[in-house]
Structure 1
């Protein structure tokens, strides 16, 4: 596990606020299940989608061997060693609008994406 001074991945204030809100809601719903665990937002890439790789975002209390760890606005982000190179310089944002609500990733490393925006090509 490394705390990367380069800040491999960035998170906007909007996304950090939503991550905190969702994590607090999840922990309040079943406190006994989460007691004593330290959760982080795990951001990764995995095979899938029509462009080749899709992003994965979820809460995780595990620390995997080789994880890169960064902290922004009191939100800890973990990336596995295979995903980290694809995510360098990416920004996680949260959009809440009429046509779209959800997390987005602006990644300068992506060479393209599919028409639906569900996956990226590197």
Structure 2
């Protein structure tokens, strides 16, 4: 798969960007970025972390999408190329979702992958 033409390689949908912007606006801070990272852990080996961060790490890749700064650290970038972050608000599902074409398999809860 070809990586999207972004610095981070991650796709942030309009719905996810809008929700993240609303949450940051609610905090009343303009120094926060939406950070996605991959960490060891979970039942499948690697676990996603998605959170607001006011830090800048050496080697960070950054995109500005819909008024949101999306940041990925240099170690997580290869695992997240082509991943899409969306926000669902339905009866079946509510919250941020991550669809990652690099995940060979994932656990039932969708919190980790390998």
Task: Give the TM-score, by structure 2 length.
Answer: 0.89
Matches within 5 A, 1:66-85: 66-85=59-78
What is the Cα deviation at residue 19 of structure 1?
A: 0.2
> Which residue is 2:19 aligned to?
18
Tell me, in whole angstroms, the C-alpha distance in 1 between the residues paired with 2:109 and 2:53.
Answer: 27
How many residue pairs get aligned? The number is: 109
Instruction: Show structure 1 runs of 5+ residues with no match.
Output: 28-33
Instruction: Show structure 2 runs of 5+ residues with no match.
Output: none
Give the counterpart of 2:100 among 101, 107, 114.
107
Structure having the larger proportion of residues in helix: 1
Please tell me whether residue 62 in structure 1 is matched to residue 63 in structure 2.
no
Bigger Rg, which one: 1
Please tell me whether residue 87 in structure 1 is matched to residue 88 in structure 2.
no
Tell me, in whole angstroms, the C-alpha distance in 1 between the residues paired with 2:108 and 2:102.
Answer: 18
Q: CA RMSD in A?
A: 1.4
